[in-house]
Amino acid sequence: DAGVIQSPRHEVTEMGQEVTLRCKPISGHDYLFWYRQTMMRGLELLIYFNNNVPIDDSGMPEDRFSAKMPNASFSTLKIQPSEPRDSAVYFCASSLTPKESSPLHFGNGTRLTVT
Amino acid sequence: AQSVAQPEDQVKVAEGNPLTVKCTYSVSGNPYLFWYVQYPNRGLQFLLKYITGDNLVKGSYGFEAEFNKSQTSFHLKKPSALVSDSALYFCAVRGGGSYIPTFGRGTSLIVHP
């Protein structure tokens, strides 16, 4: 099992550019989560999907952020246009069936720097 | 609503000494409690969980956690710390019918030789 795979590991871009972060969840997991981690705010849940359907996107900070899950093995988080305050580490996580005792499995994250 | 508090931003211990990382929670109904560890430039890794039953839960890398219902606490412990245990530790809670875990702010554990 390769675990949750995220790409790229690092992304440096200029303000105003579009950024796309990618995630491949663990096969068979039907929940997928996108988190953002910063020193100031800690770990924030942005959005989560169940069976490829977005369930709660209330954590998405602005309309500049969008996420999709076109199939069970792939999800994207897009920021357009990007701003310096979007600089953070973005994590994708997946989980098994909707049981409250199921732990999350995290990818190694994408470190985004917007200059 | 559910919440988690990790009252210490940082815990320092000497190698070989016991360590405790504190966590308290608030949730309606029965809690499902988790500890995760994050090493530098890595994602969070699951360490252990409490669902029901024995209040002392054993997990990976020699860690254990003690569930205390009356104090609504779930402290992480290890009898003898290693320098390699130095990392960021997160407590998380699920419950009250919510599938979404709430994470604490994290505690930085520093184990010095």
Task: Return the percentage of chain A with pLDDT > 90, whole number.
Answer: 88
β-strand partners of A67: A77
Q: Which of A94, A100, A106 to probe the B interface (max B CBs under 10 A)?
A: A100
Question: Alpha-carbon Rg of chain B, whole angstroms?
Answer: 13
Among all residues of chain B, which has the CA nearest to that of A100?
B99
Res B16: pLDDT: 97
| Alpha carbon distance B35, B31 (integer Å) | 13
Is there a contact between B2 and B26 (Cβ–Cβ < 8 Å)? Answer: yes
CA distance A10 to A86: 14
Residue A2 has pLDDT above 90, yes or no: no
Q: How far apart are CA A104 and CA B4, in angstroms?
A: 17
Determine the Cα–Cα distance for residues A32 and A18; give it in Å rounded to an integer. 22
Tens digit of each residue's pLDDT (9 = 90 or more) over B36-77: 999 999 999 999 999 888 899 999 999 999 999 999 999 999
Q: How far A65 CA lies from chain B's nearest CA (Å)?
A: 20
H/E stretch holding B71? none
Contact (Cβ atoms closer than 8 angstroms) between residue A84 and residue A17: no
- Are B100 and A98 inside 8 Å of each other by CB? no
Q: What are B16-34's pLDDT values in tens digits?
A: 999 999 999 999 888 999 9
Q: What is the mean pLDDT of residues A50-79?
A: 95
Q: Is the separation of the CB atoms in A33 and A99 below 8 Å?
A: no
SS3 letters for A10-78?
A: EEEECCCCCEEEEEECCCCCCEEEEEEEECCCEEEEEEEEECCEEEECCCCCCCCEEEEEEECCEEEEE
Can you read off the two tokens belonging to residue B37?
């560890």
Residues of A within 8 A of B41 (CB-CB) are: 108-109, 111
Angle at Cα B21 formed by Cα B20 and Cα B26, nearest 5°? 130
Band the pLDDT of A102: cuts 50, 70, 90.
Answer: confident
B83 touches A88 (CB < 8 A): no
The per-residue pLDDT for A99 is: 63
| pLDDT value of residue A100 | 60
